[in-house]
DNA sequence: GTCTATATATGGATAGAC
DNA sequence: GTCTATCCATATATAGAC
């Protein structure tokens, strides 16, 4: 029933994803994508008209991968801290599977905001979720359950606890921790627990 | 006494820093650097032999800017939490002055580790400091003063609290928070206090 | 749909006058 | 030390055969 052969288009897309994530827009070479996909360079232009168009598609996909099912979690009926823990786990898992995602997205946004601004509908759920987060946080702070921070700062901190390790991974690997390669699996496995513990201590009132 | 005119070399260096930090190695154009410095393209090759050599110099400087006086702090006689607070303040201040530093360094390390690995002596103090940090943390945990985390995770968390906002700034600015520009000064001013509070709650045993 | 061959542009680098 | 002019390699993109 299913097609055993992936379509050429999807093979190219996958190769493009890999190369763009590793090299960025400026560093990516159409030839490299073609080689990786096992097709000719001209094929890339047949399926995607230009490097720019191709990149937009890839970037949009990367963004939607980066913003996972947070809205679903946020709409459940739970204490905020439990939602945050679920958020941490799902997000870390996502990034273990695809460690370059966050760095890639932030970076390309910084380099060329215009190229990227078009494909931003993916983020609407995130904005809505953010409002829900602020509302619930405000409630639970007033109820004396959570420590009172500036909500926007807190949001940044949570994201940072999750993303930062993956963004700084090249640094760990190439220099700070030369034997990091062997340790990284272990480190990444324990990351969600450590973040949750850290978050809980920082947030809950004892 | 001082020379009113900066040397051409230092003007070029400054322009190169600006362009490399904004565009990255792959996106940077020698022509753009020359224009910004107000000199001819050929001058860049006169002072720095090639784009690669130029980049190495700039990167080394960026790295040494990013790793400030942490060793001095770490060698003082203070409870760890006080050292961390001092570390937060100095580091945030540094990044407010030069917000692209962290993203630039991590990014280039990820893209091309080899190009960058040569100029890494700047980081030796950081490795030493890291050991001191681990030792003192271990002591104070055993003394029942601090919460027990995995030291390496904790280190990552602290760095993340400081750096992440600046790395993700393009994201805030272009999308998540459209009016971020007017709010950012305020946000950045309060950042050290919020981080310190967060850290203290997460770390100290009450 | 897929390939080869080629057009066109651009960017890093150099030669050489002043 | 600084400029102009130019070389040469490389990258995107297209034309056109199969």
Determine the Cα–Cα distance for residues B191 and A153; give it in Å rounded to an integer.
7
A191 at interface of B, judged by CB pairs closer than 8 A: yes
| Closest Cα in chain A, distance from residue B172 (Å) | 10
B122, burial (CB in 10 Å: exposed 0-12, middle 13-18, buried 19+): middle
| Residue B167 near residue A113 (C-beta atoms within 8 A) | no
Determine the Cα–Cα distance for residues B151 and B142; give it in Å rounded to an integer.
13
Q: Report pLDDT for A2.
A: 45
Find the helix packing angle between B51-66 and B101-111, rounded to 10°: 130
Name the CA dihedral angle for B193, B18, B21, B186, rounded to a multiple of 10 degrees. Answer: 20
Task: Give B65 or A29, the one with higher predicted confidence.
Answer: A29
Q: Is the C-alpha dihedral spanning A72, A119, A66, B102 positive or negative? A: negative
A21 at interface of B, judged by CB pairs closer than 8 A: no
Q: Report pLDDT for A127.
A: 84
- Kindly report the pTM of this predicted structure: 0.95
- A12 CA → D14 C1’, Å: 19
pLDDT of B22 above 60: yes
Task: Name the phi and psi angles at A204, rounded to 5.
Answer: -85, 145
Q: Report pLDDT for A86.
A: 96
Q: Report pLDDT for B154.
A: 98
Residue that has been written with the tokens 């060329």 in this structure: A112
Q: Report pLDDT for A105.
A: 95
- Across the interface, which of A107, A149, A177 has its CB nearest the CB of B107? A107
Q: Report pLDDT for A200.
A: 98
DSSP string spanning chain B? Answer: ---SSPPHHHHHHHHHHHHHHHHHHHH--HHHHHHHHTS-HHHHHHHSSSHHHHHHHHHHHHHHHHS-THHHHHTSSS-HHHHHHHHHHHHHHHHHHSTTHHHHHHHHHHH-HHHHHTTGGGGHHHHHHHHHHHHHHHHHHHTTSB----HHHHHHHHHHHHHHHHHSHHHIIIII-TTHHHHHHHHHHHHHHHHHHHHHHHHB--
Determine the Cα–Cα distance for residues A59 and A65; give it in Å rounded to an integer.
10
Q: Report pLDDT for B5.
A: 67
- Across the interface, which of A106, A160, A176 has its CB nearest the CB of B103? A106
Q: Residues A73-120: pLDDT tens digits?
A: 899 999 999 999 999 999 999 999 999 999 999 999 999 988 887 767
- Across the interface, which of A100, A149, A156 has its CB nearest the CB of B164? A156
Determine the Cα–Cα distance for residues A33 and A36; give it in Å rounded to an integer.
5
Q: Report pLDDT for B34.
A: 98
Strand C protein footprint, C-beta under 7 A: A 8, 39-43, 46; B 28-31, 41-42, 45, 49-52
Q: Report pLDDT for A67.
A: 78
- Across the interface, which of B27, B126, B152 has its CB nearest the CB of A111? B27
Nucleotide nearest to B45 (CA to C1'): C13
Asked if the Cβ of residue A41 lies within 7 A of any atom of strand D, the reply is yes
- Across the interface, which of B156, B165, B197 has its CB nearest the CB of A149? B197
Tokens of A140: 């639970």
- A58 CA → C2 C1’, Å: 23
- B27 CA → D17 C1’, Å: 37
pLDDT of A122 above 80: no
A150 interaction partners in chain B (CB closer than 8 Å) = 190, 194
Task: List bases in chain C with any atom under 7 Å of a protein Cβ.
Answer: 1-5, 11-16
B189 interaction partners in chain A (CB closer than 8 Å) = none
Mean per-residue pLDDT over chain B, rounded: 92
Q: Report pLDDT for A13.
A: 98
A149 at interface of B, judged by CB pairs closer than 8 A: yes
Determine the Cα–Cα distance for residues A200 and A179; give it in Å rounded to an integer.
30
Do B174 and A106 lie within an 8 Å CB cutoff? no
List, as ranges, residues 27-86 from B with C-beta within 8 Å of A. Answer: 27
Q: Residues B134-189: pLDDT tens digits?
A: 999 999 999 999 999 999 999 999 999 999 999 999 988 877 777 777 889 999 99
Q: What angle (nearest 5°) sits at the alpha carbon of residue B21, between those of residues A33 and A154?
A: 95
Q: Report pLDDT for A206.
A: 81
Asked if the Cβ of residue B26 lies within 7 A of any atom of strand D, the reply is no
The winner for highest mean pLDDT among A11-20, A125-134, A170-179 is A11-20
Q: Report pLDDT for B3.
A: 47
Task: Give B124 or B83, the one with higher predicted confidence.
Answer: B83
Q: Residues A4-30: pLDDT tens digits?
A: 468 999 999 999 999 999 999 999 999
Whole-angstrom CA distances from A202 to A34, A81, B196 are 49, 11, 11
Task: Report the 10 Å Cβ neighbour count for A94.
Answer: 19
Q: Residues B106-140: pLDDT tens digits?
A: 999 999 988 887 767 777 888 888 999 999 999 99
Q: For strand D, list residues 38-67 of chain B whose Cβ lies within 7 Å of it.
A: 39-43, 46
Select from 3.10.300.10, 1.20.1540.10, 2.40.50.140, 1.10.10.60 the CATH code of A8-49.
Answer: 1.10.10.60
| Domain spans in chain A, listed from the N-terminal domain onward | 8-49, 62-203
Task: Give B98 or B177, the one with higher predicted confidence.
Answer: B98
Which of A81, A68, A69 has the alpha carbon at shortest distance from A198? A81
Do A176 and B24 lie within an 8 Å CB cutoff? no
Residue that has been written with the tokens 């006689």 in this structure: B77
Q: For domain A62-203, give the fold.
A: Tetracycline Repressor; domain 2 (1.10.357)
Give me the mean pLDDT over the B60-88 stretch: 90
Q: Report pLDDT for B1.
A: 40
DSSP string spanning chain A? Answer: ---SSPPHHHHHHHHHHHHHHHHHHHH--HHHHHHHHTS-HHHHHHHSSSHHHHHHHHHHHHHHHHS-THHHHHTSSS-HHHHHHHHHHHHHHHHHHSTTHHHHHHHHHHH-HHHHHTTGGGGHHHHHHHHHHHHHHHHHHHTTSB----HHHHHHHHHHHHHHHHHTHHHIIIII-TTHHHHHHHHHHHHHHHHHHHHHHHHB--
Of the listed ranges A47-51, A64-68, B103-107, the least confidently predicted one is A64-68
Task: Name the phi and psi angles at B146, rounded to 5.
Answer: -125, 155
Q: For strand D, list residues 7-36 of chain A whose Cβ lies within 7 Å of it.
A: 28-31
Name the CA dihedral angle for B192, B196, B202, B203, rounded to a multiple of 10 degrees. Answer: 140
Give me the mean pLDDT over the B62-91 stretch: 90
């Amino acid at each position: 029933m299913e097609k055993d052969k992936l379509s050429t288009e999807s093979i190219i897309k996958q190769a493009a994803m890999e190369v763009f994530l590793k090299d960025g827009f400026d560093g990516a070479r159409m030839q490299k994508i073609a080689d990786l996909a096992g097709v000719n360079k001209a094929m890339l232009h047949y399926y995607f008209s230009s490097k720019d168009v191709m990149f937009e598609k890839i970037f949009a996909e990367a963004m939607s991968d980066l913003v996972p099912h947070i809205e679903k979690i946020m709409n459940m009926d739970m204490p905020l801290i439990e939602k945050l823990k679920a958020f941490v786990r799902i997000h870390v898992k996502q990034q273990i599977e695809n460690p370059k995602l966050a760095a890639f997205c932030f970076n390309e946004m910084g380099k060329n905001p215009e190229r990227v601004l078009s494909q931003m509908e993916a983020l609407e759920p995130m904005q809505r979720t953010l409002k829900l987060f602020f509302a619930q946080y405000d409630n639970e702070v007033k109820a004396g359950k959570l420590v009172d921070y500036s909500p926007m700062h807190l949001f940044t901190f949570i994201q940072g606890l999750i993303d930062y390790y993956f963004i700084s991974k090249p640094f760990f690997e190439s220099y700070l921790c030369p034997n990091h390669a062997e340790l990284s699996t272990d480190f990444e496995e324990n990351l969600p627990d450590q973040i949750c513990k850290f978050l809980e201590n920082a947030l809950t009132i004892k």
